[in-house]
Amino acid sequence: MSGRAVETLRGGLYYAAFYLSMAVCGAAFFVPAALSAPLARRLSKAFFWWNEVLLRALCGLRVEVRGEVPAGPAMVAAKHQSMLDVFALYRALPRPRFVMKRELTRAPVFGWFALRVGTVPVDRGGGGAAMREMVARMTDGGAEFGQLVIYPQGTRVAPGAHKPYKIGAHALYEASGLACVPVAGDAGVFQPKGVRVRKGVAVIEFLPPIPPGLKREAFMARLEAEIEAASTRLAAEARPR
């Protein structure tokens, strides 16, 4: 059996176990999550930990977090290549609030829990009004949410592919008045779209913060340059790992 076939077989086993676990945990966690939003967040982190256990046991894939994870209030702008980098980022951050495309709120189990833990859905085709609503909702809640997480490209982007960085990242940066922590990653090398999962070590890397107060052009150029350079470096290192 070829290496690709083995990776597809392992991936199939993993996804079967993942969705079964989601159904079981969703039923078991529903009542406590409905009663307490902080408990819902802790249970979500527990499920994402279990996801990493499944990946390591069934696919030989583990996750490594590098860099300084923000402990206090910060905006986090992250590279998005795979569902793995979302789960790993949620686990790593103490009190995150994510932006999420509205279509995902309709996903069984996942959608309800995402809303319960404070995720803000956004209509990607809604233009300026949708962006202003997203910013207002993301910055509402005070100290309850310490890290405001946005994916500046607005969607999952495969390693080596290019999609423009959207100005919603600067709108959130400006409105929050927080430093922005860029996050690079290479999860798409190991868990791309589809069933196949590669063995190895997927990395999410927290980069040095961008201080508050930059104008749009300077901020967007710096954010894109730093995330893309670091993600390209991680992807190039991925095969030897």
Question: With helix as H, strand as E and coil as C, how does 53-110 read?
Answer: HHHHHHHCEEEEEECCCCCCCEEEEECCCCHHHHHHHHHHCCCEEEEEEHHHHHCCCH
Q: What is the mean pLDDT of residues 32-47?
A: 95
pLDDT at 98 over 90: yes
Lowest mean pLDDT among 40-44, 81-85, 122-126: 122-126
> Which strands sit side by side in the sheet containing 200-206, from one edge to the other?
61-66, 200-206, 180-185, 74-78, 147-150, 96-101, 120-122
pLDDT at 31 over 80: yes
Quote the crossing angle between the two packed helices 168-176 and 127-138, to the nearest 10°: 40
Q: Using the 8-state DSSP alphabet, how is residue 205 labeled?
A: E
Q: What is the mean pLDDT of residues 84-109?
A: 92
Convert the pLDDT of each residue in 103-157 to its tens digit: 888 888 899 999 999 898 887 666 778 778 888 888 886 556 789 999 999 899 9
